[in-house]
A and B are shown apart, each in its own frame.
Chain A
């Protein structure tokens, strides 16, 4: 019964997470923390911190953790499967429809609008990444947009991270070097110079 509850709960979350795994965070807080009291807000905060530092998508991390708390290893497995179930079939349905209707005017119109939107999203993800690496904290847009920007004293540039960022950009843009090599070397350099 516990297993069924876990599975169905995460199937439900899987249907809700439009816009990627980070869209799940407010849903988790509202439903799991405030409504069901499956875990406290503090525990949830720790989980998010761990998720950002460990490999893997944040949505799977959180699902595994919740599932484990309520049903052990098998619970974690069920939660992960539940979360991925509906998107799996919806994705395949969408890919098939795209193949069938890709020549129609409607699909072309939608694609013409979505392409620049995705470009904007990717640029935004770069800015967010920079706030977690080259800058010491997320860029305070609300302060910058005021007439006289007053940056908080804790906001500054990490020069070693900036150099790693520039080098890896050049490597990725100009060579066919494998991503894993660059990420690994940059992490190694970061361990000594970005402390």
Chain B
């Protein structure tokens, strides 16, 4: 972490860091219904904007990485942020926070607490309301990401290709990310070749 001189983590005792990791991820996993990208965006708001433990670029580069590793998006986000903040114990604290709410609730349901009023109209409406807010969170993050990206033709083709691919096909999204990574690599090396040839002429 030497690239961040005024790192806010330095002034915090280690125990406090571990507790904050566990507590915030517990909160995120409890309130962000359905999981997926919304969990990452919620983590962005807490750990990047409020606590400033890492930069937006670091987090989103991390997201790109999670996809190349198998695992749940929420779990990998927790391990990434936790490990960056406090090494192995940090990763473990954050991951426990993510897994705990599911574990407790599903165990309760399995134990036969089917009295949970999941098909009640008010509860259903509350879930629609929560998902609307998560949609808003996602759109706000998209606007922010768009502003901070260097958009060129290559960028646009990859982004739009992945969007259309995920929505219109039933393939695993990991394939589209792999295609993006390959395209980026090929472009970098082709650019290098052209530069070499140009220099020779």
Contacts and interface: CB of A to CB of B under 8 A. Distances in A.
Contacts, number: 390
Contacts of A19: 67, 172-174, 177
Contacts of A68: 106-107, 110
A151 interface: no
A57 B106 CA distance: 11
Contacts of A130: 135
A20 interface: yes
Chain B interface residue number, banded: 35 or more
Contacts of A50: 106, 109, 118
B65 to A, nearest CB: 5
Contacts of A65: 106, 109-110
Interface residues of A, number: 103
A68 B180 CA distance: 39
A104 B22 CA distance: 34
Contacts of A86: 70-71
A191 B154 CA distance: 44
B148 to A, nearest CB: 10
B19 interface: no
Interface in A44-72: 50-61, 64-65, 68-69
Interface string B23-45: 00001111111111111011001
A125 B31 CA distance: 17
Contacts of A16: 70
B74 A57 contact: yes
A29 to B, nearest CB: 13
A41 interface: no
B117 to A, nearest CB: 11
A179 B45 contact: yes
Contacts of A167: 136
B189 interface: yes
Interface in B35-91: 35-39, 41-42, 45-46, 49-50, 60-76, 79-80, 83-84, 88, 91
Contacts of B60: 115, 118
Contacts of B126: 187-188, 190-191, 194
Interface in A129-150: 129-130, 132-134, 141-142, 145
B27 to A, nearest CB: 6
Contacts of A161: 128-129, 131-132
A117 B149 CA distance: 12
Contact of B72 (A57, A94, A124): A57
B75 A194 contact: no
Contacts of A36: none
B193 interface: no
A98 B65 contact: yes
A18 B172 contact: yes
Given A57-B35, A114-B184, A120-B161, 14 more contacts: A21-B74, A56-B74, A56-B98, A64-B102, A76-B107, A76-B110, A80-B102, A87-B70, A112-B154, A117-B180, A124-B166, A169-B136, A183-B130, A195-B121
24 contacts: A19-B172, A54-B109, A57-B39, A64-B102, A76-B107, A84-B75, A109-B188, A113-B180, A117-B176, A119-B142, A120-B160, A124-B162, A126-B138, A161-B128, A165-B133, A169-B140, A172-B140, A173-B139, A173-B143, A183-B133, A184-B31, A187-B133, A191-B129, A194-B132
